[in-house]
Structure 1
Amino acid sequence: MSKQHLPDVLQMKMQTSNRCLPEMASTFLPAVGRVAVCGGTHGNELSGVYLVQEMERKRKEKGDSVWPVPVTTVVSNPLAVKECKRYIETDLNRCFSNATLSTPITDSTPYEVRRAQELNALLGPKESAGATDLLCDLHNTTSNLGLTLIHYTTNDWMTLHICKYLQTKITRVPVRVLVLDIPISAAYSLETVSKHGFSIEVGPQPNGVIRADIYEVMKEAVDLTMDWIKIFNSGTVFEGGDIEVFIFQKSIDYPREPSTRELIAAIHPQLQDRDFCLLKRGDPMFLTFSGETVKYEDDETLHPFFINECAYYEKGIAFHLAKKWKLSIPRMQVQK
């Protein structure tokens, strides 16, 4: 997935968003009625697993009234959670494109493809009027991402307003918004089966480990999302304005030995743990095992993220690169 050049329409939108504009008209959206919170889409990312379990315990203790609307809690990949593995046969969070969701099921169909179709039936169907209104999918990363909210479009006003709200309320870690800008039909992760949705990525946390500080950040983000839903459904007007987002551009692989494809370098110490820093021409990227520095040679200054993510070694990704923009979002309120 490479985006060396943004589509013309998006370029125009971004350029426009960096200028002073007349106040945008209000957008009216239906009240949020159905919400899903999912954890364990990757079975070794434990904050979401334990947070979903805690939400289920709270429901048994206090009933559904504990939240402003009905909430479906789901352990997305129970077999992988049981084995504390990212997945059993294939990455579940790459199985929610329309093409994969419509794949006929046979005896050889991977478990995660079967599970994706089950989740789509439960929480979707994707791109349908009956889909869940809002879905939060909970993830951990081994990268120093802080709290990063990931979704797919630059004009999902509800999702962007929630992201903006979380940015104003959460102070213990940086809160960033990442837009992948892929057509929803091709978008492959779980939150895309709902009408509105985003992934909550919190790190750094090792796979198979639960850290209280990382768990608390994730819990705060989910609790504040529920608060936002209550406020929105009550009729409160959310003012428009600018929101800072990062737009995915391309991925960078590790240096490799040409014939065997074995790694010959690691992330440079000056880049390690500096997710969303500015990476400019001449900055160190990798340190070879023989001690040589590999520098960033592109002229365009970009922002690396998911630096040295453990799960991305198998995908041939050392980190992704993004461009920072300001998007203008309209005033929004519930449709009466």
Structure 2
Amino acid sequence: MTVQRILIVAGTHGNEINPIWAVKQFNRNENSLKHGIEYEYIIGNPIAYEKGCRYIDADLNRSFKKSKNYDQNENSFYEISRANFLVDQFGINGSKPCQIAIDLHTTTANMGTSIVMYGRRFKDFCLAALLQNKFGLPIYLHEKDKSQTGFLVEAWPCGLVIEIGAVAQNFYDPKIINRFLIIISSLRDEIDKLKKNLIELPKDLVVHVHQGSVDYPRDEKGDIDGLIHPKRINRDWKMIKKGDPLFLNSQGIIYKYDGDQFIWPVFIGEVAYKEKQIAMSYTNKEVICSKNEWVQEFHRL
């Protein structure tokens, strides 16, 4: 295995401040080099962080190559130039090449501590399996969504998002910070154990696969005219069946789920997704058998 550097990105969204605190605290207390693997730390969107906002011109986590933002605004958006800087600096062919990128995020939704994957790269599956085996974390596999592309970790050979909530934007929560510290401090240990054949991947990996998203009810003017139903609030990862309530509008009308398949919702009521017209996303649960190829691909990093 040739993993030498792991990029730890905090503050990809400027108002998600707990990961930044966690990384600064970890960097003060821990050696950046362990098991032959060095951590590189970077604030993803420093100007947005200074201003206390999610982004300046566009969502940085939708601004890497192959994204709509990148194609349409390559020479004008701050986040596009920032994405290019990060790849030029820390990409696999950069001045400080990193084989793995870990992007730290918080959410206002009650997601707990979870892993977000983009697509089905074997190396990502291997790393996700290590963390799920260690911490029992749920995995959200985001794929086949043409409206959302250009994610940060996709610009590296291997990468995952660690998503923790619920916590308000621009609010420090010591419990949230501690969760990040635990994962950051354990990551290299788990990779080293795999390298030395001291652990094996679990036989199965449980993932929640993205199926689509649903917007809030809206009136004829396009304004939101319904709220998350009280029985749905804070129920991320909990199964929904046909007839279960989703929304309650201002006239007391209940909007129910009318699909025939069981679904598991994620990012329920995420504040930042209102502008994307997303009230929650739907997933199906899938059990994937671990493959030797996952480890083999990971060893080739």
Normalised by the size of structure 2, how large is the TM-score? 0.89
Deviations 1:250-296 (CA, angstroms, capped at 9, x unpaired): 000000012x1001100000000000111111100001122221111
Q: Is the 8 A contact 1:137 1:199 kept in 2?
A: yes
Aligned partner of 1:169 in structure 2 is: 134
Aligned partner of 1:158 in structure 2 is: 123
Shift of 1:73: 0.4
Q: For 1:207, what is the secondary structure of its paired residue?
A: coil
Q: Describe how 1:228-239 pairs up with structure 2 within 5 A.
A: 228-236=190-198, 238-239=200-201
CA distance, structure 1, for counterparts of residue 300 and residue 58 of structure 2: 41
CA distance, structure 1, for counterparts of residue 291 and residue 19 of structure 2: 31
Q: Could you say if the C-alpha distance between residues 90 and 218 of structure 1 is closer, same or farther in structure 2, counting changes exceeding 3 Å? A: same
Q: Describe how 1:100-249 pairs up with structure 2 within 5 A.
A: 105-106=74-75, 109-124=76-91, 132-154=98-120, 156-170=121-135, 175-182=137-144, 187-236=149-198, 238-239=200-201, 241-249=203-211
Specify every segment of 5 or more residues in structure 1 that has no aligned partner in the other structure, as ranges. Answer: 1-29
Q: Is the 8 A contact 1:240 1:330 kept in 2?
A: no
CA distance, structure 2, for counterparts of residue 202 and residue 271 of structure 1: 19
Aligned partner of 1:91 in structure 2 is: 59
Q: Is the 8 A contact 2:22 2:178 kept in 1?
A: no
Which structure has more relative contact order (CA 8 Å, sep 6+)? It is: 1
Q: For 2:276, what is the secondary structure of its paired residue?
A: coil
Q: Is the 8 A contact 1:287 1:294 kept in 2?
A: yes
Aligned partner of 1:39 in structure 2 is: 10
CA distance, structure 2, for counterparts of residue 210 and residue 248 of structure 1: 29
Q: Is the 8 A contact 1:38 1:73 kept in 2?
A: yes
Q: Could you say if the C-alpha distance between residues 319 and 330 of structure 1 is closer, same or farther in structure 2, counting changes exceeding 3 Å? A: same
Q: Describe how 1:72-83 pairs up with structure 2 within 5 A.
A: 72-83=40-51
Equivalent pairs, count: 294
Q: Is the 8 A contact 2:34 2:188 kept in 1?
A: no
CA distance, structure 1, for counterparts of residue 159 and residue 89 of structure 2: 15
Match of 1:50 among 18, 21, 24: 21
CA distance, structure 2, for counterparts of residue 261 and residue 239 of structure 1: 48
The answer to whether residue 288 in structure 2 is matched with residue 288 in structure 1 is: no
In structure 1, what residue type is equivalent to 2:101?
L
CA distance, structure 2, for counterparts of residue 67 and residue 233 of structure 1: 10
CA distance, structure 1, for counterparts of residue 287 and residue 190 of structure 2: 22
Q: Is the 8 A contact 1:252 1:317 kept in 2?
A: yes
Specify every segment of 5 or more residues in structure 2 that has no aligned partner in the other structure, as ranges. Answer: none
Deviations 1:162-185 (CA, angstroms, capped at 9, x unpaired): 3223223326xxx2111112499x
Q: For 2:216, what is the secondary structure of its paired residue?
A: coil
Q: Is the 8 A contact 2:105 2:161 kept in 1?
A: yes
CA distance, structure 2, for counterparts of residue 76 and residue 267 of structure 1: 31
Shift of 1:105: 4.9
Q: For 2:281, what is the secondary structure of its paired residue?
A: strand
In structure 2, what residue type is equivalent to 1:65?
L
Aligned partner of 1:261 in structure 2 is: 222
Shift of 1:219: 1.7
Q: Is the 8 A contact 2:64 2:70 kept in 1?
A: yes
CA distance, structure 2, for counterparts of residue 229 and residue 148 of structure 1: 19
Match of 2:286 among 311, 325, 330: 325
Q: Could you say if the C-alpha distance between residues 239 and 89 of structure 1 is closer, same or farther in structure 2, counting changes exceeding 3 Å? A: closer
Aligned partner of 1:25 in structure 2 is: none
Q: Is the 8 A contact 1:275 1:303 kept in 2?
A: yes
Q: CA RMSD in A?
A: 2.5
Q: Is the 8 A contact 1:275 1:306 kept in 2?
A: yes
Q: Could you say if the C-alpha distance between residues 133 and 302 of structure 1 is closer, same or farther in structure 2, counting changes exceeding 3 Å? A: same
In structure 2, what residue type is equivalent to 1:163?
A
CA distance, structure 2, for counterparts of residue 310 and residue 67 of structure 1: 39
Percent identity reads 28
